[in-house]
Structure 1
Amino acid sequence: MKTKTILSFVVLAALAGCQSGPIDVLYKEDSTRAERQQAYDQCFIQALKDVPQNMVTEVTGGYSVPGVIDCNTDGENTICGEVGGYTTPVSSYSYDTNEKLRNRVINRCLADKGFSTIERPICESRNERAAYSLLPTQPNAAQIACVAGQSFDPN
């Protein structure tokens, strides 16, 4: 019985640790969600034109250390096998070398349109998140205690 109680406590503690901290939110007083989305999309598209993706793939690993061949003879039969040795598999990952520059271009474009970013925590209660989501426009930054999530969809 104690094991179940301890396990439950560990699971709840782990879940509590999963709550995210403050997030950056696109901000412009009196802007609607649609206006923020449109501004971001326009800046993102322009930044992709100005700073296109440059995908690079790096490959690491992929080597093998041979083992020792060991043979055993039993009468007329000889059986051989490799003992020891190992192989490290090839691993690779890809990344965009222009991503950081493109993000700076996006941020500069948004700033030119009057947007900035503010850092706010995600609202803890469902009612707080719903209240923020129902706002027709963003109030003054000082009046935003928490947010429901991103103020636009970056995907």
Structure 2
Amino acid sequence: MFRFMLPLSMGLALVACQTGPLNVLYKEGSTRSQRQEAYDQCVIKALKEVPQNMVTEVSGGYSMPGYVDCDTDGNQTYCTEVGGYTTPITSQSYDTNRNLRSRVINRCLEDKGYAAIQRPVCDSKTERASYAMLTRQPNAADITCVDGQSFDPS
């Protein structure tokens, strides 16, 4: 029975790893290198106009001391520490300009004629190979699935 369960469980694990639809950069007739170049130019422009502003928030770091309880038994004294706790310090860093920079990137790409479209990930090897062989993007209606690099328009 184990011989049959292993392939089944591995197959289910692979299905669980697949992601949902991907956003891809789209402009009919564009090549991969043209899309990458446009994206890179827009990211560089956005970083110049809206630089990173990293902020770190720190929280926690509280300590409540316990007390020492001692008992004497004859000539010996035994002491133990009772209670007390420490909440560790936590920190989180983030870029306060991330959302604004994303909007600048999106406007730049739109000005260059690009848009984000969402398509499912190609399931079969044949579909992935077919998508990889596209030298230029066809009409959006003709793109049934995608494979490879996604575009995050947020």
Alignment TM-score, normalising by the size of structure 1: 0.86
Please tell me whether residue 45 in structure 1 is matched to residue 44 in structure 2.
Answer: yes
Please tell me whether residue 97 in structure 1 is matched to residue 96 in structure 2.
Answer: yes
Contact 2:56 2:93 in 1 (8 A): yes
Instruction: Report the identity percentage.
Output: 64
C-alpha separation between the residues in 2 aligned to 1:32 and 1:76?
88
Contact 2:22 2:150 in 1 (8 A): no
Corresponding residue for residue 124 of structure 1:
123
Aligned residue for 1:109, secondary structure, equals helix
C-alpha separation between the residues in 1 aligned to 2:11 and 2:91?
36
77-86 or 120-129, larger mean C-alpha shift:
77-86
Aligned residue for 1:130, secondary structure, equals helix
Q: What residue ranges of structure 1 are gaps of 5+ in the alignment?
A: none
20-29 or 121-130, larger mean C-alpha shift:
121-130
Cα deviation, residue 127, structure 1: 1.7
Alignment TM-score, normalising by the size of structure 2: 0.86
Query: What RMSD over aligned residues (CA atoms) do the two structures have, in Å?
Result: 2.2
Corresponding residue for residue 110 of structure 1:
109
- The alignment covers a number of residue pairs equal to 151
Return structure 1 stretches of 4+ with deviation > 3 angstroms. Answer: 2-15, 74-77
Q: How does 1:4-153 map to 2 (within 5 A)?
A: 12-150=11-149
Cα deviation, residue 145, structure 1: 0.3
C-alpha separation between the residues in 1 aligned to 2:32 and 2:3?
46
Q: 1:125 to 1:88 in 2, by over 3 A?
A: same
77-86 or 32-41, larger mean C-alpha shift:
77-86
Q: What residue ranges of structure 2 are gaps of 5+ in the alignment?
A: none
Contact 2:55 2:96 in 1 (8 A): yes
The one-letter code of the counterpart of 1:81 is: T
Aligned residue for 2:71, secondary structure, equals strand
Contact 1:36 1:151 in 2 (8 A): no
